[in-house]
Amino acid sequence: MQTWFSAEWERLIAVKARDEEEERLGRLFNTLMVISSWISVLLSIVFLLMQPLGFLPPLISWFAAAFPIAVIPISIFCLVQARRGHIRPMIRLYVWSNLVAIGAAAWTFDGLVSPAWVLYFWTVTIGGILLTPATALWMTGGVLAFYLLMLLLSQAGLYTPLLVPGAAGREYVHMSLVLIMLALTVGMLTYLNMRSLQQALWTLRERTRQLMTAQDELVRKEKLAVLGQVAGSVGHELRNPLGVMSNAVYYLKTVLGDADQGTKDYLNIIESEIANSERIVSDLLDSVRTKPPQIQQVVIAELIGQTLGKLTIPPVVQVKLDIPETLPPLRVDPLQMQQVFRNLITNGIEAMQDGGTLAIRAMTDTSAGTVSVGVQDSGAGVTREQLGKLFQPLFTTKARGIGLGLVVVKNLTEANGGRVEVQSEPGKGSVFRVILPAAE
- The model's pLDDT over 169-222, given as tens digits with 9 standing for 90+, comes to 667 666 766 666 666 666 666 766 676 677 778 888 888 888 887 887 777 667
Q: Which of 43, 11, 44 is nearest to 30 (CA)?
A: 11
Instruction: Let me know: does 258 contact 380? Beta carbons within 8 Å.
Output: no
Name the band, by pLDDT with cuts 50, 70 and 90, for residue 51. confident
Instruction: Let me know: does 398 contact 407? Beta carbons within 8 Å.
Output: no
Tell me how far apart the alpha carbons of residues 193 and 215 are, in angstroms, rounded to a whole number: 32
Instruction: Let me know: does 404 contact 284? Beta carbons within 8 Å.
Output: yes
The 8-class DSSP code of residue 163 comes to B
- The model's pLDDT over 337-390, given as tens digits with 9 standing for 90+, comes to 988 898 889 888 888 888 888 999 999 888 888 899 999 988 888 887 777 777
pLDDT of residue 223: 65
- The model's pLDDT over 274-292, given as tens digits with 9 standing for 90+, comes to 877 777 777 666 655 667 8
Cα torsion 54, 57, 62, 64: sign: negative
Which residues lie below 8 Å from residue 274, measured CB to CB, with a gap of 6+? Answer: 242, 245, 246, 249
Q: Which residue pairs from 400-406 have beta carbons closer than 8 angstroms and sit at least 24 positions apart in sequence?
A: 402/280, 402/283, 402/284, 404/280, 404/283, 404/284, 404/286, 404/287, 405/283, 405/343, 405/346, 405/347, 406/343, 406/347
pLDDT of residue 314: 87
* Percentage of the chain lying above the pLDDT 70 cut: 84
pLDDT of residue 435: 92
pLDDT of residue 168: 63
pLDDT of residue 159: 87
More confident site: 311 or 238:
311
Give the CA distances from residue 363 to residues 229, 287, 324, 371, 433, in Å, rounded to whole numbers and listed in that order. Answer: 40, 28, 8, 6, 10
Instruction: Give, for 423, the enclosing helix (H) or strand (E).
Output: strand 419-425
pTM over 0.85: no
Q: Map residue 398 onto helix, strand or coil.
A: coil
Strands 356-365 and 317-322: parallel
Measured in residues, the chain has a length of: 440
